[in-house]
Structure 1
Amino acid sequence: MMGIENVYGELLSGLQSENQKLLLTKLKEDGTLEKHIYVPGAEPEAAEALAQQAAFEKKVCISGFGADEHTEKWIAEPFCKENRMLIFGGGHVSLALAEFAARTGFAVTVTDDRPSFANQLRFPTAKQVLCMDFDSAIEKLHVNSSDFVVLLTRGHRHDGVCLRALAKQPETAYLGMIGSRKRVRELKDTLEEEGISREWLDWIHTPVGLDIGAVTPEEIAVAILAEAIQVKRKPAEGTRRVSQSDIDMEVIHDLAEPEEKFADQKKAIITILTTKGSTPRKAGAKMIVYETGMIQGTIGGGCAEANLMQHAREVIRGGAYQIRHVDMTGKVAEEEGMVCGGIMQVLIEQG
């Protein structure tokens, strides 16, 4: 069995060059498990089918659960590049959007060609701030299918520069552009005459954001972020899928490269496998529980998390993995004071 640090390190390394990697876990009858990165065509039949399903649906998939005890149990977890929100333009709407997007899990990059608008002091929640020409920034960022791009520049001349550059890059998960319908239509017509696909131009979300009657920069930012989340969480039929797994990449980094203070501590990893109904986190969410009681990540907090932490300590002491069901419905929820109304199935394993 590959060590936890090694398998997650290999996973992160693979994501540097590929948009998606799959982690396969086999749960064995003796209470142990094996993890490895999926190798197409080299897996047992059951694992191969499950991996392909997870790759297509872009969410955690399981097989063999609920069957007899001798049936092989597999978990396939898809991991994609982190969801970046690439904001072009450093004005008032960008200021609010960068803050709100960072709070909802996006890794934010802001680009503007004016030093007074593109600096870390102005955008403290951004992971990266670039002061450079927009087309140069797009080339530097290596835009990919996990990215959410928002054009909030100071004019359609700059929007045109961005779109010409983006048209040469791989398609993104989301692309939105602010502007009046008339100006946007004129820009699209110009770009189509230059040879850019009309289908791609019409796919752009513009006017950007959900129609909630937003007026202020902060309200417009909320509308844009809501639309981006809708694309991420509720993809329309026939549209490209973004990762449906609720993964905190910081936890994955913590598993691959533990902080020095945690390096020698025994630990357990809790992973949500399936959910039904209203739950605080969805399948794919992970948290680490250390023998000292320290934690990294969350599966939603509250009584359910506290209860699972007790079982995590049992796993740390005993070694065998556990599959637990957390019921947050009806009478159970009332007795425990839970505010959600769903059911979670989780795996607790030794780290």
Structure 2
Amino acid sequence: MEMYQELLKETEKNGSAALITTLGESLEKNVFRKEEASEIIQNAVEEAKMEGEPRLVEAGDKKYFVESFCREERLIILGGGHVGLALAEFAARTGFQVCVVDDRPSFANTVRFPWAAEVLCEGFASAIEKLQINEYDYITILTRGHRHDGDCLRALYKQKKSAYLGMIGSRRRVKQLKGQLHEEENISQEWLDFIHSPIGLSIGAVSPEEIAIAILAEIIQVKRTEQRTDKVMSSDVDMRVMERLANPDEKRKEQGKAVVTIIETKGSTPRKSGAKMIVYEDGTIEGTIGGGCAEAGISQTARQIIQKGGYLIQHIDMTGAVAEDEGMVCGGVMKVLIEKA
């Protein structure tokens, strides 16, 4: 638990961190420290960051499982109207830490936004300054008017560049606002061109819910496909599982548990490398490696590991007859690490 707490603190402090699991006669975990690591481990950490997925490397008679983590990805919704309401729910369901900002109490409250991790009821400029935008943030400007859009852009321009920035509005209105900010306030044209507007993928969306889906689809497209200098966010890591490992519920603290992590995958699998789940001795699980019969079988093995200790690397074959017999829609192979926590 203390090791996972250290990992999360390091991630929050520096934006990213790495966890090194040594697979020898026994299992040992350490938060990556560059000055203490061998060249092989240093290279593996860099590769894990660049490729956005864990690495399994060998050195002598030992194997090292290298995982890279980053700050939890926030979706910041500036404007608590109908589109923002739908977007908050859909985004939370797809793994984003949702933050909603609006200056109207009736629109910015936790009753209206139960899916949001944070709701700020204050002016947009002051809220943006308080949030301290970083490169792992995805931002949508969905305010109720041209003046508020301008306030958001002026404040965001003073912050670090986010992973995504989109703004709702007509082409004419957006063009006019961008021109004003560039010509009258000297805001960089390159930065203004970074804004996704019209916001969302062009799918003919009409209703607030459909527009929210189009926006989220564009955000996921940026998250999963655009080239970055650090693609750690492209892995299938669920930071909520990491948070649970670092700070378990009081009722779970004394209960035995195992952690299951996907090391690598081939072919079509429901989850990709980096995905984790916790299996408790009473059979309860948190997180997922894909669900179905394969996950159920791994859960049984994990409960055995809880009893006898140690770790196990296991292959899950979802190809051919196995997939057909189990009614699986996927058909790949996963290698998973099962360890007593």
2-side partners of 1:49 and 1:242: how far apart?
15
Q: 2:177 aligns with which of 181, 187, 199?
A: 187
Shift of 1:317: 2.4
Measured after TM superposition, the shift of residue 336 of structure 1 is: 2.4
Shift of 1:109: 1.0
| Structure 2 counterpart of 1:261 | 251
Name the counterpart of 1:106: 96
| 1:229 alignment partner, one of 196, 200, 220 | 220
* Partner of residue 62, structure 1: 56
Compute the displacement of 1:95 (Å): 1.2
Cα distance in 1, alignment partners of residues 176 and 229 from structure 2: 26
Contact 1:232 1:242 in 2 (8 A): no
Aligned residue in 1 for 2:105? 115
Shift of 1:173: 1.1
Quote the residue 1:130 is aligned against. Answer: 120
Indicate if the aligned counterparts of 1:41 and 1:48 stay in contact, CA closer than 8 A.
no
- 1: CA distance, partners of 2:247 / 2:220: 29
Given that 2:275 and 2:289 are in contact with CA atoms closer than 8 Å, whether structure 1 keeps it comes out as yes
Structure 1 residues 238, 47: CA separation in 2 closer, same or farther (over 3 Å shift)? closer
SS in 1 for 2:251: coil
CA distance in 1, matches of 2:246, 2:281: 18
2:12 matched to 1:16?
A: yes
Given residue 28 of structure 2, which amino acid in structure 1 is its aligned partner?
E
Query: Which amino acid counterpart does residue 219 of structure 2 have in structure 1?
Result: A
Q: How far apart, CA to CA, are the structure 1 residues paired with 2:21 and 2:148?
A: 47
Q: Distance in 2 between matches of 1:222 and 1:348?
A: 36
- For structure 1, the residue ranges without an aligned partner over 5 or more in a row are none
CA distance in 2, matches of 1:57, 1:329: 25
Tell me the CA shift for residue 10 of structure 1: 0.3
Q: Which moved more, 1:338-347 or 1:169-178?
A: 338-347
One-letter identity of the residue aligned with 1:51: V
> What do you get for the CA RMSD once the two structures are aligned?
1.6
1:150 aligns with one of 125, 135, 140:
140
State the shift of 1:239 in Å. 7.5
Give, in angstroms, the shift of residue 164 of structure 1: 1.0
Query: Identity of paired residues, percent?
Result: 58
Q: Does the aligned pair in 1 maintain the 2:271–2:289 contact within 8 Å?
A: yes
Deviation, 1:199, is 1.2
In the alignment, which residue of structure 2 is the partner of 1:207? 198
More helix by share: 2
- Taking the aligned partners of 2:339 and 2:252, their CA distance within structure 1 comes to 17
Structure 1 match to 2:239: 249
Q: Secondary structure at the match of 2:36?
A: coil
Asked whether the equivalents of residues 146 and 242 of structure 1 are also in contact (C-alpha less than 8 Å), the reply is no
- What amino acid does structure 2 have at the position aligned with 1:83? E
Give structure 1 regions of 4+ aligned residues with deviation exceeding 3 angstroms.
Answer: 237-242
Structure 1 counterpart of 2:47, one-letter code: Q
Counterpart code for 1:48: Q
Query: Could you tell me the TM-score, scaled by structure 2's length?
Result: 0.95
For the residue of structure 1 that corresponds to 2:315, the secondary structure is: strand
Secondary structure, aligned partner of 2:187: coil
What is the CA deviation profile of residues 79-130 of structure 1, one whole-angstrom value per residue up to 9, with x for unaligned ones? 1111111000111111111111111111111111111211122212111111
- What is the DSSP-based 3-state SS (H/G/I as helix, E as strand, rest coil) of the residue aligned with 2:108? coil
Partner of 2:43 in structure 1? 49
Equivalent of 1:37, from 31, 35, 40?
31
- Contact 1:173-1:242 at 8 Å conserved across structures: no
- Whether the aligned pair in 2 keeps the contact of 1:173 and 1:240 (CA below 8 Å) is no
Q: State which of 71, 82, 88 in structure 1 corresponds to 2:72.
A: 82
CA offsets 1:159-179 (integer angstroms, 9 cap, x no match): 111111111111111111011
Report how many residues are paired: 340
Q: Is the 8 A contact 2:49 2:230 kept in 1?
A: no
**1:202-351 paired onto structure 2 within 5 Å:** 202-235=193-226, 237=227, 241=231, 243-351=233-341
The one-character-per-residue Cα deviations of 1:24-55 (angstroms, maximum 9, x if unpaired) are 11111x1x111111112320121111011112
Instruction: Letter of the 2:252 partner, please give it.
Output: F
Q: Verify the 8 A CA contact 2:50 2:230 in the aligned structure 1.
A: no
